[in-house]
Structures are given as C-alpha cells and as structure tokens.
Amino acid sequence: MRSASLQIHLGFKLATAALAVAGSVVLLMALTRLIPGDPATVILGSRATPEAVATLNARIGLDKPLIERVFTFFGRLASGDLGEDVFNGRPVLSLVLNALPNTAALAVASMLCAVALGLPLALFSARWPGGKTDRMVAFLSVGFISTPSFVVSVFLLMVFSVHLRWFPVLGAGESGNLGDQIWHLVLPTAALAAGWVGYIARLLRSSLLEVLGENHVRTLRAYGVSQTKIMMKYALKPAILPTLAVLGMGFGELLGGAVFAEVIFNRPGLGSLIYDAIRTRNYPVVQGGVFVIVMLYVLTNLIADLSQSLIDPRERARLTSGQGH
C-alpha cells in the first residue's frame, strides 16, 4: 500500500515532466514560426532569389504546416532521431551528444565549486551572526550575486589568460586529455560559479539561523553540546533542505546560464550550439538542443524533488502514509 502510494507519486511526477517537455517543444516550434528569417536566407546569402529560398525551405521541410512538423519531430524522436542540421545534413543527435558533455561538465563543476565555497561561508556566517565574518561574507555574497557572469568572465580572461597566460581562452580542451579539459574548465567554472557561491552562502545562512533558533537546539545547548557539533550534526541537515531544492532548479539555471560562459570562452557546449543555431535559424538544431535542455531541466528538478522527499522525514512520512502529492 505504501509502495503503491510512492509509485503513484512517482508516476504523477514523471507524467508531469513528460508533459512539460512535450509542451515546451511544441511551444518552441510554434514560436520559431513567428520569428522572421529562415535558414535558407542564411545558407544562400542575404541576396538569394525567392525561388532558391523556396526550394531550400522545401528541402528542409519548413514549407510544411506546424502540426505536421510537430508530428514529424515526435515521430522521429521515437527512434532517437532529432533531425538533421539544415546546413550539411549532420544528425542533430550527434551534435547534441558532442556538445552535452562540455555543458554538463561546466554545470556540474560550477555547482560543486559553488557548494564547496558557499557551504563553509554559510557556516562561518551563521556561527557568528552579525560579526565581522558575517558582514564580510554578506558583502562578498551580494557582490558575487550582483556581478553579471559575463563581466566576471571578461575580467578572468584579461587577468588569467591575457596577462598571466595561465589558462586558455578558447575551447574545451583536447579530446581524451583530461588534464587539458580541466585546465580549460577552470575559468568558465569560476565565472559561472561566482554568483552561486554568494547565493548558496546567503540562502544556507538564513536556513541555519532559523534552525539554530529552534527549541531543540536550545535544549542541546543547555546540555552543553558544543556549537560546532550543533552546527555540523544537528542544524546542517535540516537547514540544507531548502538549499537542495534550489540547487535542483539551479542546475537547470546553470545549464541556461552556461550560454554566456560558452559564448565568451568559445566553449563548444550545448548553450553555444543553440545560440549559434538561433542566429542562423537552424531550426532542427534549436529544437533538438532545447529538447535536451528541457529534458535535463525537468530531470534535475525531479531528482531534487525526490531526493528532498527522501531526505526530509516529514515528507517521506507523508508520501508513505498515502497522502501522496
């Protein structure tokens, strides 16, 4: 009975996720019809004849009605086919699969970096609220949050690439050379993570202070348990739950935010793939790329949602008692 309730919850979440993905793709395809310009003009140059444009659009399938294109897209999807690049016929799936690891590595590295720095900052702040450390962390956090990542990117490039020549400007590193790939990852990761460090630090600090103000913590203090032990053992776990939920959504945000870092650092990831495809009206690539991004976004949210349910005993109890979603 309990397991059935959990299955219903999971099924509901998966169905919602599938609907969100399908809805996004249909919306995207509808929106692309409203944007002036087409790949034919880009391919044929700005002064192509209308006949050549029409011929090429027919070849690409852009002359077909929206509904037919939607069905074609989902029909192909069933066999793992995301369509073809309109410029050279390369499969979109292979383009996306080549780009995805670069974006995923950047997003994961940025998230890890943000957590690794944001967590201790939050702990220090909450340990001595209102003190010098707290004020310093608050100042830094707001600074990190409010500085746009492209400004940070350019600053890092000027200092560490142009002046010091420590880190490269371009690309994602040599294929098969992990060291080189990590080297190429450092600056974009730092640029993308900076804002999140501040965000995590602020968010977690607030949660920690909230937990530290609760009765059971006061009781622990009365029993003489050290403040450090209270922080690490009793306060961090419940305080981190809201941060986990934000991180789940934040990962999706990072995938989107990676566009800037990828364009500035010329990193061949999914964000820059979609950016270039939009500029050239390469619709199959836009659709395939966005489909995968939406999938990842929904998936990470789902994982965050489920893991929160598993970590939080109250939520776990609610689900297993059949009170479901």
Partner 1 sequence: MTFNPTRRQVLVGGASLATIVALGGVHPAFAGADRTKITVRVEKDLSNLDPANRSGPIDLNVIWSVQQGLISFKPGSTEWELDAAEELEQVSDTEIRFKLRSGLAFTGGYGDLTAEDVKFSFERFITPDAEGKPVTYAKDWSALDRVEVTAPLEGRIILKNPAPALYTIALADGSGRIVSKKAFEALGKDIATKLVGSGPYVLKEWTPREQFVLEINPDYKGPIKAHFHQIVGKPIGEQKTAEIAFKSGEIDFTAIDPENGKSMAALPDASITEIPAIDYVWFGPNIEKAPFDDIRVRQAIRYAVDIDAILQGAYSGLYPRANALLAPSLLGYWKDAPVHARDLDKAQALLREAGHADGFKTKLTIEANARYEAIAQIIQANFAEVGIEVEIEALESAAYWALGENDASKDLELSLIKFNGKFDPGFQTQWFTSAQVGQWNWQRWKNADFDALHEKGGVTVDPAEREKIYIEAQKLLDESAAFIWITHNLNAFASRKWLKPGVLPNGNNWLYTAFTQATA
Binding-site ranges for partner 1 (CB under 8 A)? 35-38, 41-50, 52-53, 55-56, 59, 87-90, 95, 98-99, 154, 157-158, 161-162, 165-172, 175, 180, 183, 186, 263-266, 268, 272-273, 276, 279-281
By C-beta, is 170 or 317 nearer to partner 1? 170
**Min CB(187)–partner 1 separation in Å:** 11
CA atoms within 13 A on the CB side of 243: 24
d(CA 66, CA 51): 22
Closest CA to 283 of 18, 99, 87: 87
The span from the CA of 109 to the CA of 190, in Å, is: 9
Nearest to 133 by CA among 121, 117, 147: 121
Which residues make beta-bridge pairs with 91?
84
Least distance (Å) from partner 1 to the CB of residue 119? 19
User: With respect to partner 1, which residue has the nearer C-beta, 181 or 307?
Assistant: 181
> Is the CB of 185 or the CB of 236 nearer to partner 1?
185
Nearer to partner 1, 25 or 273 (CB): 273
Which is closer to partner 1, CB of 88 or CB of 215? Answer: 88
Q: Which of 5, 25, 28, 145 is nearest to 77 (CA)?
A: 25
Q: Tell me the closest approach of the beta carbon of residue 177 to partner 1, in angstroms.
A: 10
Work out how close the CB of 58 gets to partner 1 at its nearest, in angstroms, rounded to a whole number.
Answer: 8
C-alpha 32/C-alpha 27 separation (Å) is 9
The two structure tokens encoding residue 284? 């199959």
Q: How far is the CB of 254 from partner 1 (least distance, A)?
A: 20
